[in-house]
Amino acid sequence: MILQKAKRNVPPFLVISLTSLFALAIKLKDIGDFLRKENILATHDAFRFARFAKELHANTYSAIDYLANVPDFAVNADPPPLLSLLAVWLSSLFSVRLEFFFALLPPVLSVLFLIPFYFWTRTFSSPHVFFGGAFLGLFNYLYFTRTRPGYFDTDCLILFFVFLIILFITHAARERENTRKSLFFVLLAGISFKLFMWWYSLPVFAPLFVFSLCAGLIAFGHSKRDILLKTGVFLLITNPFAIMMDQALFLKDYVLGHILRMKEYMMSIDIYAHINENRPVGPHLFVLLTTENRATAGLAVAGLLLFIVRHFRSMVIPLPLILIGAASIKLGARYLIYLGPFLGMGLGYLLFLLSGFLEGRFPRYRAAIVPSGVALVLFLSFPAQRLYYESLPLFDERTYGNVRALEKITEKNAFIWSWWDYGNPIEYLSGRATYLDNTQFKPHKVYLVARSLLTEQEERAKRIIAFLSNTTTPDTVKLPEIEEKSLAYTAPPKNPVYVYLYDAMLYMAILHGTGLQSAEISGGKGSPFGSLIKCVPAEGKGTYTETLFNCFAFSFDDAAKTVIPTEKINPEKLYREIWYRDRADRGTRVLSRNRNAEFDKTLQIIRTEKGEIYALLVDPLARDSVLNRMFSLKDTFRHFEPVYDDFPNMVVYKVRQ
């Protein structure tokens, strides 16, 4: 009774609208700051989609992407990415600049999944289940942060397409007696899947939805003939084999190196395992990324399991998506996006059962029980910390300006030798070509970039850079073989090449594990560099001393070039050597040596051209590496010349011809 009354008395438009408005009020609370600035993009991939939108708007988008994966270049999608096209269409329609939609589209589109989700849950469950799924789906940490203003990426419509396809498959399965109507919904599911693959092409979804359709048809008692017919129609429309073939090269690399662990295709550190969103999720992180409360997280899981058992015919259809979300404990945190709404459904279902129990025990208060139950669902499924989350762009203004400066300090046909996470921003902000970016990170290029930066021999570094700049390579190559070829290469690079370095590169496990080929680094140490500490001017006896700096663990007198120990730490006893580097005159001075030091490390005191003082520890493994000599010490090279120095934010060297 409570379920039927709730369904009749709650208008769909009102439910969806109020939920969406509440979500948007929280998501858009910082939108004013974004729209006033040029620096609005909040993730690396956003720069890629924004660049494609700019190219489409200027009619310069082409089949070949000459800014990515040089010198092989990348093949652009045809048709272009739907997200980029959508921004261009809306910009033309409303005569508003593209950046407005780069900021606004992610949060606005992210609430659209409520429409198919509502009509799907309405077919077999109560409003409690919808509200629980809606709120935890919208406000779980990953979905909330990955659909904030400026996060111009495909995450914002993934749940919309997932639940739209599930809705149509559910209707197809329920229409057992009406073959034409069932086939019509199969057709709609297939078309929705094609649109989904245009929006977010990921091959794994093809077999998942084929399974969902087959399982749904079986669960609702369709005949074998109907199951074969409807599955065949779905396969014909979606053509999942073409999707798999389109990703064949990526899958081959992933299977050979990551799954089969074939040594000649493997780097010393697994490239996929060290991407943050692919890291496994433990129990504590699971709670933080979902409800932020152990009790409600436990109730959500228990409620979901009970709901699946009680409504198995309907829940077998999204079961593959639920399992993908649950597999985040191994596959990585980002897959919790798919699990969030279902966990909320479980929480809502438990409270629905509680409402039913209370209605039976206290029939006089029946009118208040349902809304009270829904209110409790909203309270428990909404992590309160979302109210305080501040949406910020990916880069601060200093970094944003430095990346843009590449356009002025480099030639138009220049290649930028850097790590992949800055690839898309460099391509978008400066219009310069890169070897690596967040989409194009071929293992052999990752391998060679890392090897060039962590070698101690600048001749080796230049040869690797020149080889990779002038030579196109197959997508799957044996890493030792290609390194051997690069070291034998003697020709200079045909294009101007600039080495772009920044502070985060000091701590990237893939970079150092691959570049150093060190069992110590590969085994989990992560980086041969300690934390980069900015020393602050000290205050002494009421006077401000410009030459005395507090480096937290010790002090440094810049005038006397003396390290001053504290009661707890004496750097001269702790570290093998202490170096002083003045970047203005490029002079390196050894301040102390101690063969009996406790740690075999070098403490580098670095003075910038602005007069700032930094302290950086480095292991012998990387002390004489090209990376440390260029970035930390601004050293003098025969094959490289410094052209830009804003340490530690950006340091750029040009490869001499």
| HEC assignment per residue over 544-581 | EEEEEEECCCCEEECCCCEEECCCCCCHHHHEEEEEEE
Give the model confidence (pLDDT) of 482-517 as tens digits: 999 999 999 999 999 999 999 999 998 888 888 887
The Cα 120–Cα 113 span in angstroms is 11
The Cα 238–Cα 240 span in angstroms is 6
- The C-alpha angle 312, 315, 316, rounded to 5 degrees, equals 80
Average pLDDT of the chain to the nearest whole number: 89
Tokens of 95: 């005569």
Q: Are 10 and 130 in contact (CB under 8 A)?
A: no
The alpha carbon of residue 3 and the mean position of all alpha carbons in its chain are separated, in whole angstroms, by 40
Q: Are 123 and 142 in contact (CB under 8 A)?
A: no
* pLDDT over 50 at 25, yes or no: yes
Quick one: CA torsion of 366, 369, 370, 374, rounded to 10 degrees? Answer: 180
Buried b vs exposed e over 216-226: b needs ≥16 C-beta within 10 Å? bbeebebeeee
The Cα 53–Cα 41 span in angstroms is 13
591 C-beta neighbours (distance < 10 Å), count? 16
* Cα R_g (the chain), whole angstroms: 29
* pLDDT over 50 at 538, yes or no: yes
**Going by DSSP bridges, is the β-strand pair 587-593/533-540 parallel, antiparallel, or unpaired?**
unpaired
Query: What is the predicted pLDDT for the residue at 542?
Result: 42
Tokens of 306: 């009970």
Query: What is the predicted pLDDT for the residue at 543?
Result: 46
Nearest to 634 by CA among 519, 484, 499: 499
Three-state secondary structure along 338-400? HHHHHHHHHHHHHHHHHHHHHHHHCHHHHHHHHHHHHHHHHHHHCCHHHHHCCCCCCCCHHHH
Residues of the chain with pLDDT > 90: what percent? 70
3-state secondary structure of 599: strand
Q: Answer whether the bond into residue 240 is a cis peptide, omega within 30°.
A: no
The Cα 494–Cα 432 span in angstroms is 15
Name 221's Cβ contacts closer than 8 Å, sequence gap at least 6.
Answer: 176
* pLDDT over 50 at 18, yes or no: yes
* pLDDT over 90 at 622, yes or no: yes
The Cα 98–Cα 611 span in angstroms is 40
The Cα 569–Cα 575 span in angstroms is 11
Q: Are 232 and 217 in contact (CB under 8 A)?
A: no
Tokens of 633: 């010490």
Give the model confidence (pLDDT) of 218-239 as tens digits: 999 999 999 999 999 999 998 8
Tokens of 429: 């902000």
Rounded alpha-carbon distances, angstroms, from residue 341 to 318, 323, 569? 11, 13, 51
Instruction: Provide the pLDDT confidence category of residue 522 given band limits of 50, 70 and 90.
Output: very low
Query: Between 161 and 274, whose confidence is greater?
Result: 161
Helix, strand, coil percentages (3-state) for the chain, rounded to 5, are 55, 10, 30
Query: What is the predicted pLDDT for the residue at 7?
Result: 52
Tokens of 387: 């109210």
Query: What is the predicted pLDDT for the residue at 249?
Result: 55
Q: Are 472 and 78 in contact (CB under 8 A)?
A: no
Protein fold of 397-525: Pyruvate Kinase; Chain: A, domain 1 (3.40.1380)
The Cα 350–Cα 336 span in angstroms is 21
Query: What is the predicted pLDDT for the residue at 503?
Result: 95
The Cα 548–Cα 282 span in angstroms is 45
Q: Can you tell me the mean pLDDT for 520-531?
A: 68
Give the strand order in the sheet containing 533-540.
562-564, 555-557, 543-550, 533-540, 613-618, 599-607, 575-582, 587-593
The Cα 576–Cα 603 span in angstroms is 8
Max alpha carbon distance in the chain (Å)? 91
The Cα 554–Cα 354 span in angstroms is 60
Residue 554, sorted as left (phi over 0), alpha (psi -120 to 50) or beta, turns out to be beta
Provide the H-helix boundaries in 239-335: 240-246, 248-253, 283-289, 294-310, 312-315, 319-326, 328-331
Q: Are 418 and 426 in contact (CB under 8 A)?
A: yes
Residue ranges per domain, the chain? 2-66+78-154+247-388, 156-199+202-246, 397-525, 533-618
The Cα 38–Cα 562 span in angstroms is 44
The Cα 139–Cα 145 span in angstroms is 9
3-state secondary structure of 643: strand
- Identify residue 581 by its one-letter amino acid code: R
Give the bridge partners for 641, in sequence order: 654
* pLDDT over 80 at 207, yes or no: yes
Query: What is the predicted pLDDT for the residue at 481?
Result: 86
- Identify residue 61 by its one-letter amino acid code: Y
Instruction: Provide the pLDDT confidence category of residue 167 given band limits of 50, 70 and 90.
Output: very high
Q: Are 23 and 147 in contact (CB under 8 A)?
A: no
Query: What is the predicted pLDDT for the residue at 533?
Result: 95
The Cα 67–Cα 77 span in angstroms is 14
**Going by DSSP bridges, is the β-strand pair 415-417/497-501 parallel, antiparallel, or unpaired?**
parallel
Instruction: Provide the pLDDT confidence category of residue 544 given band limits of 50, 70 and 90.
Output: very low
Give the model confidence (pLDDT) of 330-384 as tens digits: 878 889 999 999 999 999 999 999 988 888 888 877 778 777 877 888 888 888 8
Instruction: Provide the pLDDT confidence category of residue 260 given band limits of 50, 70 and 90.
Output: low
Query: Between 245 and 85, whose confidence is greater?
Result: 85
Q: To which residue do tokens 């990752």 refer?
A: 446
**Going by DSSP bridges, is the β-strand pair 575-582/562-564 parallel, antiparallel, or unpaired?**
unpaired
Query: Between 564 and 374, whose confidence is greater?
Result: 564
Tokens of 595: 């063969």
Query: Between 360 and 23, whose confidence is greater?
Result: 23
* pLDDT over 70 at 296, yes or no: yes
3-state secondary structure of 171: helix
The Cα 354–Cα 468 span in angstroms is 65
Q: Are 461 and 453 in contact (CB under 8 A)?
A: yes
Instruction: Provide the pLDDT confidence category of residue 655 given band limits of 50, 70 and 90.
Output: very high
